[in-house]
Amino acid sequence: MDTEGRVYLKLNLAEQIYHLFTIFGGLVKARLITSVVLAGAVALGTTGCGFFVPVETKYEYAPSDGVNLNAGDVRVRNALFIVNEDATAFNLTMSTINTTNKASKLNITAVIDGKRTEKSIIVEPGSTQYGNPEKGQETLVFADLGAKAGQTIQVFFQSGSSDEVEQYVPVLDGTLAEYAPLVVD
């Protein structure tokens, strides 16, 4: 086109939208539509990744060193073994939550090389903690499981008429100050 009527091809997006709507709907309508389109582009550009990334808070995980599981009506939280220096006593520390209004029996079976060691406890309604003798808590000591700190032990938990729930429970020792009181002989 000639110099007076030439069209510039290097217009930015806002100017192109503004120019397009000025032709079809007047100046006020063009400004409004341009503002809405630009706001949408900015919103999509700054938050677009959030539309496609799964929300991590929807996934359950154990935020501490222990493991969590549900065995029937009994919830087990932060279960871990604390082993003594010569690896002869394994103190199972955990919290339990009985979701019923009656006491429930929780069967705990540790399996090492095919050898099964079993313990049973009665879990009262509500929340109960196990494993800290300094706080007067009941200790669940398994003898000679043959594991070292840093390993895991295959453990089955079963309550009421529910099926056994398998979990690999970590073994720690008293090296860390917060676990030292949990070491038993």
Same domain, 29 and 98: no
Name the DSSP class of 51.
G
Of 73, 128, 127, 71, which is closest to residue 99 (Cα–Cα)? 73
Final residue in a domain of this structure, among 35, 59, 83: 59
DSSP for 124-170, written as a single string: -SEEEEES-GGGTPPPEEEE-----TT-EEEEEEEETTSPPEEEEEE
Same domain, 9 and 66: no
Name the DSSP class of 175.
T
Same domain, 54 and 139: no
CATH number at residue 135: 2.60.40.1890
Same domain, 8 and 52: yes
Same domain, 97 and 177: yes
Final residue in a domain of this structure, among 17, 43, 59: 59
In this predicted structure, what is the pLDDT of residue 33? 74
Which has the higher per-residue pLDDT, 103 or 65?
103
Residue 146, Ramachandran bin (φ over 0: left; ψ between -120 and 50: alpha; else beta): left
Q: What's the whole-number average pLDDT of the chain?
A: 84
Same domain, 91 and 1: no
Same domain, 163 and 87: yes
Give Cα separations from 134 to 130, 143, 176, 181, 182 (angstroms).
Answer: 11, 20, 16, 7, 8
Euclidean distance between the first and the last CA atom of the chain, given in angstroms as a whole number: 95
* Structural domain boundaries enclosing 113: 61-182
Same domain, 96 and 145: yes
Of 21, 59, 54, which is closest to residue 37 (Cα–Cα)? 21
Helices (H), the chain: 13-25, 27-47
Average pLDDT for residues 67-89, to the nearest whole number?
A: 95
Q: Look at residue 121 and tell me whether its pLDDT is greater than 90.
A: yes
Q: Model-level pTM?
A: 0.69
Q: What is the pLDDT of residues 152-168, one digit of tens each?
A: 999 999 998 899 999 99
| Location of structure tokens 């103190």 | 91
In this predicted structure, what is the pLDDT of residue 181? 93
Same domain, 86 and 102: yes
Number of domains in the chain: 2
Same domain, 87 and 177: yes
